[in-house]
Amino acid sequence: MSKKSIIDGIKEKKGLIGEFKEFISRGNVVDLAVGVIIGSAFTAIVTSLVNDIITPLIGLILGGIDFSDLKLVIPSAIEGVKDAEICYGKFIQCVINFLLVSLVIFIVIKTMNRFMHKKEEAKEEKPAEPSEEVLLLREIRDSLKK
């Protein structure tokens, strides 16, 4: 390997590192990272809400059903092979979890859109003040009318 190709490789790495630093320091990437972290924490909260509060309440209302234990067992025809289990109770919990997360996201976005729309309306309601040139031209026009 020649000296020139090694130096070019080092410059290229510094360029890539510099570009990466520039990319990371942009606001959008940082906002995205914060959103992902908050989203994962929120998902944990909603999962706990579904698994520990909502699903047991629904099970109690439906006669003491524990959703996490609901499954369909398909017996094995071969001796020594475990029976197949379709755990649809866990699936029901995941569906409830998804619906709650979707509902909360919908409410948050709807609220944000409402506030953004109000800001836009406030901007539109204020008529723009005429510039000094326009005021001067109006004065000239009015004086010429006399």
pTM: 0.52
Reported as a single tens digit per residue, the pLDDT across 71-113 is 899 988 888 888 889 988 888 888 888 888 888 888 888 998 8
For 49, 50, 55, 91, 104, the CA distances from 45, given in Å and listed in that order, are 6, 9, 14, 18, 12
Q: Considering the domain 3-145 in this protein, what is its CATH number?
A: 1.10.1200.120
pLDDT in the model for residue 11: 56
Segments of the chain with pLDDT less than 50: none
Q: Is 85 in a helix, a strand, or coil? A: strand
Is 68 in contact with 89 (CB distance < 8 Å)?
yes
Write the CB contacts of 83 (distance below 8 Å, at least 6 apart in sequence): 73, 74, 75, 76
Q: Which amino acid is residue 41, in one-letter code?
A: A
Confidence (pLDDT) at 3: 58
